[in-house]
Amino acid sequence: MFFFDLPLLGDIIHYAFGSFILGVLLTVTFVILLFLLIKGFYPRKTFSPLSFIAGAVLCVLLIPQMISLCGAVALKIKCGEVATWLDANVIHSSEYINPVEVTPEESHIICERLIDNFPMVASFVGAGEFSGFDTSNISVAIADTLNSFLNQFILESLGWSLLFLAITAGVVIFTMRAETHYARNARTMRARGNIPPRHMGRQRTNGVRLRRL
């Protein structure tokens, strides 16, 4: 799977806008935490413009991952409802005294009905053709298959996200600049509260420079 799925992103934005917002917020949070963590390990260095450019690129790469991840997790939570919904609204398994075998063509129709009600499922069930199942277990088979694909998708999204974070961390550290002696002293004095007032030690009176004794 490529590192982001455009059709899935479109479905999430259209049908699960809350996952879109959460994905963006998580991305911003992770990028800020990454910079704070790096600064904590390298307190005597400062970020350069290239460091912030790397952070911006990370946001662009990480936002699709986080949105897709949030959408997949939200869909995974509903996996338990899939089998129940199919039995009650499509298969009607309770109406069969004896289970009836479901052909691949019929399973495809069942999956199409599922996609009509849960559009985001389309990215995970594929052609939706199942064989070797009957009316008593086809709904559970579809739900289990969906859950398996979601688990794989979530792991891949996490893997890509960690890779992007690791690469960006290396780039940011490499592009940081050593803090100057003046900036370091000023930061130390601010931390201690020993900031000397302006023009301390020298005064001017009527154009004559006086020194403190």
CA distance 139 to 145: 10
The model's pTM is 0.72
Enter the tokens of residue 40. 């904590």
Residue 51 has pLDDT above 80, yes or no: yes
Residue 135 has pLDDT above 60, yes or no: yes
Mean pLDDT of the chain: 78
Q: How confident is the model at residue 172 (pLDDT cuts 50, 70, 90)?
A: very high
Enter the tokens of residue 180. 């100057």
Residue 190 lies in a domain: no
| 45 DSSP β-pair partners | 178
- pLDDT digit string, tens, across residues 61-108: 999 889 888 888 888 887 878 888 888 888 876 677 777 888 888 888
Residue 211 lies in a domain: no
Residue 20 lies in a domain: yes
Check residue 200 and give its pLDDT.
Answer: 46
CA distance 45 to 37: 13
- pLDDT digit string, tens, across residues 141-165: 888 888 888 898 899 889 999 999 9
Check residue 142 and give its pLDDT.
Answer: 85
Residue 168 lies in a domain: yes
Check residue 213 and give its pLDDT.
Answer: 43
Residue 208 lies in a domain: no
Residue 195 lies in a domain: no
Residue 52 lies in a domain: yes
Residue 2 lies in a domain: no
Q: How confident is the model at residue 111 (pLDDT cuts 50, 70, 90)?
A: confident
Tell me the DSSP string of 116-185. HHSGGGHHHHTT----SEETTTHHHHHHHHHHHHHHHHHHHHHHHHHHHHHHHHHHHHHH-EEPPHHHHH
Domain carrying residue 38: 7-182
The number of distinct structural domains making up the chain is: 1
